[in-house]
């Protein structure tokens, strides 16, 4: 059944048992919404220099958006910013592939559990759900590092 | 098969709607339960559009040649049909717009530029309700922001009805306009027009009614409503997209200023100033949606031939059955009235903590088309503390078997995420 390509077990597991959920101390906080469906996320990032010390989040939304936030937390916490950006860009590429991209070994190595979202990319209405937390992270990172830079030069 | 008193001959009706034969997702016949978003179109309307473009296409109110006169007669003929459909005292009170949103924005902008006694300014108030579609909220927010007027609204009761307990306070001597929906697109609630209109008339406020979810489903009589403006859209009532209606009382349309300027809405134009055509043309700048108006005329013919009373009875029976069956589904909570009284055929619900997006996706896989999200009525979701709902909505072609398919589908959803 086609549905199983979207709702992979990995995704349902993350949805039912989210990793790193809850808001903790952070350098910046953003609130992003998906206006078409009402998915919302509040996300904070904490940096230790260029290393991601924590990504914490709270939100409501569908299984795809919630699982995606959980996977993001798994993948990005502890990573260096450059590596995290590469993961984010790779995930974006996969999600914008309209189901045309078959993840290869290199991609799987970068994305780990996040390759499970490949099936979601076939459903245009759901791609935004999968990307919600990733766009929030990107925004929060820009704010956090911008502020840190300002503080340094001040 | 379930039969209910009051049902239409859906077997015959469904033959008129080609899309209802559509097969989706590996051989499943579509179960279309999203008519509150847009209705499907009968062949009679599709044929009218085709015939217009193939035989009569020309711009209106301009040419002296035969086809142009035919186009004008068809366009103006559609106005006559709509006027009869809503029992308007005069055909000149029927303004064609692009949709209900444009109709409501038109009213807000007429008032925004009006002189006394209609003038909206910082000493005046605008009244709406918490159950409005965004299209009956945002135009009034814009008007309030631009004029300094105060925007007020009626809240909602826990069972999805308007809370009118403080009506004399909400609608008062400062109120210039009261704008509310006849039937809620999310809750399905049918509102008590008379009580609101009576209070508005006491204080001399104008009344604007959003009939988008009413015009397709029940007899609509603008004289009986006693409102000043009534707005609705064509595509929810078997017509094409791109055509809406604003009905307004004649003397108001004469007094109030135009909003969009351009061809068609003028009498004479010089480089310094212009004078305007009488209503309705004063409010129809530019080439109108001609084919779409003709299509709406055909839709009105189609609905009238079946009979709006009969359509309302059919939907009442389906709604009663659907409410009963849905309440049998474990963990299902209807957001809105849980009886079919004073209620339209749009039923919103939540299903445990399964997000509506996921509900809709699994239903889609079974060929069942429902709407998920906040239905352009986010304040209602906030009021009931939910991010979104799943909405099933029914029309003259809906059957009890489709209700059963939905209920079975929801069981499948529960198993999938259980």
Looking up residue A142, the CATH number of its domain turns out to be 3.90.1010.10
Extract long-range pairs of B165-170: CB within 8 Å, 24+ residues apart: B167/B195, B167/B196, B167/B199, B168/B199, B170/B127
Do residue B365 and residue A1 have CB atoms under 8 angstroms apart? yes
**What is the structure's pLDDT at A34?**
86
Asked if B361's CB is within 8 angstroms of A123's CB, the reply is yes
pLDDT tens digits along B133-142: 999 999 999 9
How far apart are the CA of A30 and the nearest CA of chain B, in angstroms?
A: 18
**Torsion (CA) B48, B50, B55, B61 in degrees, nearest 10:** 70
* Residue B376: active-site member: yes
pLDDT-derived band of residue A64, with 50, 70 and 90 as boundaries?
Answer: very high
B373 part of contact set with chain A, CB < 8 Å: yes
Band of residue B3 on the pLDDT scale cut at 50, 70, 90: confident
Which two tokens mark A79?
A: 């990573």
The gap from C-alpha A140 to its chain's centroid, in whole angstroms, comes to 12
Per-residue confidence (pLDDT) for residue B418, from 0 to 100: 78
Q: Comparing A144 with A36, which gets the higher pLDDT?
A: A144
State the pLDDT at residue A58. 96
Q: Give residue A100's pLDDT band: very low, low, confident or very high (50, 70, 90).
A: confident
Q: For chain A, how many structural domains are there in total?
A: 1
CATH hierarchy code of domain B10-32+307-417: 3.90.1150.10
- How far does the CA of residue A107 sit from the closest CA of chain B (Å)? 27
pLDDT value of position A154: 55
Strand partners, B52: none
The answer to whether B173 touches B203, Cβ cutoff 8 Å, is: yes
Whether residue B157 is predicted with pLDDT greater than 70 in this model: the reply is yes
Query: B127-144 burial by CB neighbour count: b if 16+ within 10 A, else e?
Result: bbbbbbbebbbbbbeebb
Question: What mean pLDDT is reported for chain B?
Answer: 96
Q: Examine the pLDDT at B117 and tell me if it is beyond 80.
A: yes
Asked if the model's pLDDT at residue B343 lies above 60, the reply is: yes
Residue-number span of the structural domain to which A36 is assigned: 3-149
CB-based contact A37 B361, cutoff 8 Å: no
Task: Name every chain A residue with its beta carbon within 8 A of the beta carbon of B381.
Answer: 38
Q: In a mutagenesis test of the B interface, which of A33, A38, A59 is the best target, namely the one with the most B β-carbons within 10 Å?
A: A38
The mean per-residue pLDDT over the stretch B225-231 comes to 98
* Closest in A1, A2, A61 to B355, CB measured: A61
Nearest-CA distance from B405 to chain A in Å?
18
Instruction: Classify domain B46-304 by CATH number.
Output: 3.40.640.10
Give the A:B interface size as CB pairs under 8 Å.
47
Is pLDDT at A153 greater than 70 in this prediction?
no
pLDDT tens readout for residues A28-42: 999 999 877 778 999
Polymer length of chain A: 154
Of the listed ranges B2-6, B155-159, B385-389, the one predicted with least confidence: B2-6
pLDDT in the model for residue A136: 97
Asked, for residue A154, whether it belongs to a domain, the answer is: no
Q: How far, in Å, CA of B373 to CA of B99, rounded?
A: 21
pLDDT digits (tens, 9 = 90+) for B88-107: 999 999 999 999 999 999 99
CATH code 3.40.640.10 region(s) in chain B: 46-304
Q: Is residue A77 part of a domain?
A: yes
Residue A145 lies in a domain: yes
pLDDT, greater one: B253 or B374 = B253
Q: Is residue A66 part of a domain?
A: yes
Which site among B28, B354, B359, B361 would you substitute to test the A interface, given the most A Cβ atoms closer than 10 Å to its Cβ?
A: B361
pTM recorded for the entire structure: 0.93
- Of the candidates B286, B396, B329, the one whose C-alpha atom is nearest the C-alpha of residue B32 is B396
Shortest CB distance from B388 goes to which of A2, A38, A64? A38
Task: Tell me: pLDDT of B321 over 90.
Answer: yes
Q: What is the pLDDT of residue A46?
A: 97
Partner residue facing A63 (CB), from B355, B365, B387 = B355
Of A149 and A75, more confident:
A75
B positions 38-97 inside 8 Å of A (CB): none
d(CA B234, CA B99): 7
pLDDT average, residue stretch B170-185: 98
Percentage with pLDDT > 90 across chain A: 73
A7: chain B residues, CB-CB within 8 Å: 416
d(CA A34, CA B294): 37
Does residue B120 contact residue B111 with C-beta atoms inside 8 Å?
A: yes
Of B357, B365, B374, the CB nearest to A62: B357
pLDDT-derived band at A151, boundaries 50, 70, 90:
low
Q: Would you place residue B31 in the very low, low, confident or very high pLDDT band (cuts 50, 70, 90)? A: very high
Q: Give the closest-approach CA distance of A38 to chain B in angstroms.
A: 6
Over 90: is that where the pLDDT of A1 sits?
A: no
| Predicted confidence (pLDDT) at residue A152 exceeds the cutoff of 70 | no
């Amino acid at each position: 059944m086609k549905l199983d390509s979207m709702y992979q077990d990995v995704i349902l597991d993350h949805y039912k048992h989210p990793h790193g959920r809850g808001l903790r101390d952070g350098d910046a906080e953003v609130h992003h919404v998906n206006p078409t469906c009402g998915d919302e996320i509040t996300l904070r990032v904490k940096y230790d220099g260029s290393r991601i010390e924590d990504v914490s989040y709270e939100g409501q939304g569908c299984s795809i958006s919630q699982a995606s936030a959980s996977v993001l937390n798994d993948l990005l916490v502890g990573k260096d910013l450059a590596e995290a950006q590469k993961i984010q860009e790779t995930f974006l590429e996969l999600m914008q592939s309209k189901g045309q991209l078959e993840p290869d070994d290199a991609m799987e190595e970068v994305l780990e559990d996040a390759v499970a979202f490949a099936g979601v990319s076939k459903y245009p209405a759901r791609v935004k759900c999968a990307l919600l937390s990733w766009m929030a992270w990107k925004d929060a990172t820009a704010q956090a590092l911008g502020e840190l830079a300002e503080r340094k030069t001040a | 098969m379930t039969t209910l008193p009051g049902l239409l001959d859906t077997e015959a009706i469904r033959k008129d709607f080609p899309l209802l034969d559509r097969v989706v997702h590996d051989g499943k016949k579509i179960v279309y339960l999203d008519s509150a978003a847009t209705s499907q179109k009968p062949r009679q309307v599709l044929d009218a559009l085709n015939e217009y473009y193939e035989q009569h296409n020309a711009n209106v109110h301009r040419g002296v040649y035969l086809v142009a006169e035919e186009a004008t007669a068809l366009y103006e003929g559609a106005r006559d049909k709509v006027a009869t459909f809503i029992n308007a005292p005069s055909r000149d009170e029927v303004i064609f717009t692009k949709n209900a949103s444009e109709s409501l924005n038109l009213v807000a902008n007429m008032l925004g530029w009006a002189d006394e006694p209609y003038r909206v300014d910082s000493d005046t108030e605008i009244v709406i309700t918490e159950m409005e579609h965004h299209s009956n909220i945002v135009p009034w927010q814009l008007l309030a922001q631009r004029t300094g007027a105060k925007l007020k609204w009626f809240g909602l009761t826990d069972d999805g009805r308007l809370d009118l307990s403080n009506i004399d306070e909400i609608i008062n001597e400062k109120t210039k306009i009261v704008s509310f929906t006849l039937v809620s697109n999310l809750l399905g609630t049918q509102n008590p027009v008379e009580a609101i209109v009576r209070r508005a008339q006491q204080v001399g406020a104008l009344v604007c009614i959003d009939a988008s979810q009413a015009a397709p489903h029940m007899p609509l009589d603008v004289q009986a409503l006693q409102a000043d403006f009534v707005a609705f859209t064509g595509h929810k009532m078997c017509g094409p997209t791109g055509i809406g209606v604003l009905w307004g009382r004649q003397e108001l349309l004469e007094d109030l200023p135009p909003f969009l300027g351009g061809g068609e809405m003028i009498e004479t134009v010089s480089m310094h100033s212009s004078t305007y055509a009488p209503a309705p043309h004063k409010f129809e700048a530019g080439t109108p949606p001609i084919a779409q108006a003709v299509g709406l005329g055909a839709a009105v013919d189609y609905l009238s031939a079946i009979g709006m009373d009969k359509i309302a009875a059919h939907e009442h029976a389906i709604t009663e059955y659907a409410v009963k069956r849905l309440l049998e589904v474990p963990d299902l909570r209807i957001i809105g009235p849980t009886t079919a009284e004073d209620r339209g055929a749009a039923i919103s619900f939540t299903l445990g903590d399964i997000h509506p997006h996921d509900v809709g996706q699994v239903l889609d896989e079974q060929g069942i088309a429902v709407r998920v999200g906040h239905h352009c009525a986010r304040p209602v979701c906030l009021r009931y503390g939910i991010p979104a709902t799943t909405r099933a909505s029914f029309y003259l072609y809906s059957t009890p078997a489709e209700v059963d398919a939905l209920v079975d589908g929801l069981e499948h959803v529960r198993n999938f995420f259980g």
